[in-house]
Structure 1
Amino acid sequence: MDETERTRGVVSQYFATMAAREWDAFGELLSADVVYEMPQTRERITGRTKYLQFNREYPGDWTATVTRLIVDRTTAAGSMNFTVGDEEMVGLVYLELADGLITRITDFWPEPYDPPTGREHLVEQVVSATDRIS
């Protein structure tokens, strides 16, 4: 098995054990000094124990479904649909591995916003499926 296949297997298990809330198996995929970052909130969690506790205590009945996963050697990038109660979000996640364990996770939770003025001559407005329904 090459490095990319190994990374894909670990990352797939990461999402599967998270979705099943199998926290012991989930923790086995993480390095002891894993770093988890959420740039939008400027938060960082350092260490397996704290990151596991963060996930165990995450509020609400949530689901996360991976919609795309791209893997190259020891890095992976994915997109997912994340639902908590009635709130649905699209998240982006970047993972880095070393020695078969996840060492860094960065989650981005993009919120929609109006584009800045001044570039109308360069862009087109794309209507999403949700915009068409409303």
Structure 2
Amino acid sequence: MEATEVVRRYWSAVWSRDWNAVGRTLADDVEVFWPVTREIIRGRDNLVAVNSEHPNGWSIDVLNVYDAGDVVVSEVQVPQEDVGIFRVVSMWTVADGVIVSGREYWTLYGGEEGRDWRRKYSTVGDIPS
């Protein structure tokens, strides 16, 4: 199976909340790093638990999945009721048909104001995915 398909299956399984299917996309010793919060999630069971125990009220829209050679990059939008919309850029390493590691940048869409000094060079808006 192609690495991009493994990542697509991962996100599809998370969205459908099929935790057994999520586990089948992950190596036993998968390691995922979230740089924004400096959290490291080690092991299939822990990553499945992080996803399954997250409060409900969310959905997942896969915006893009790119084959970048040794890694697969995905861009996902996660609307969360009463919170807002998260955007997630993930870099996944896939080997032998499973995700073995990842680095995910979760951010609240529009959650930060641009810097004053850049306003003369930019506008605020949305670019279609």
Aligned to 1:112: 112
The answer to whether structure 1 residue 51 and structure 2 residue 71 are counterparts is no
Name the CA distance, whole Å, in 1 between partners of 2:24 and 2:59.
21
Residue 116 of structure 1 and its aligned partner are, at CA, apart by: 6.6
Amino acid at match of 1:128: G
Amino acid at match of 1:88: I
Residue 112 of structure 1 and its aligned partner are, at CA, apart by: 2.4
Runs of 5+ consecutive residues of structure 2 not aligned to the other structure: none
The answer to whether structure 1 residue 102 and structure 2 residue 95 are counterparts is no
Name the CA distance, whole Å, in 1 between partners of 2:72 and 2:11.
12
Name the CA distance, whole Å, in 2 between partners of 1:78 and 1:65.
11
Residue 71 of structure 1 and its aligned partner are, at CA, apart by: 1.0
Aligned to 2:85: 88
Q: Is the 8 A contact 1:7 1:73 kept in 2?
A: no
Runs of 5+ consecutive residues of structure 1 not aligned to the other structure: none
Q: Choose which of 19, 29, 38 in structure 1 pairs with 2:15.
A: 19
Residue 105 of structure 1 and its aligned partner are, at CA, apart by: 1.9
Identical positions, percent? 24
SS of equivalent to 1:26: helix
Amino acid at match of 2:40: R
Q: TM-score, normalised by structure 2?
A: 0.84
Q: Is the 8 A contact 1:91 1:108 kept in 2?
A: yes
Amino acid at match of 1:79: E
Amino acid at match of 1:49: D
Q: Is the 8 A contact 1:69 1:78 kept in 2?
A: yes
Name the CA distance, whole Å, in 1 between partners of 2:74 and 2:5.
14
Q: TM-score, normalised by structure 1?
A: 0.81
Q: Which runs of 4+ in 1 moved over 4 A?
A: none
For these two proteins, the number of residue pairs brought into alignment is 123
Amino acid at match of 2:86: M
Residue 68 of structure 1 and its aligned partner are, at CA, apart by: 1.1
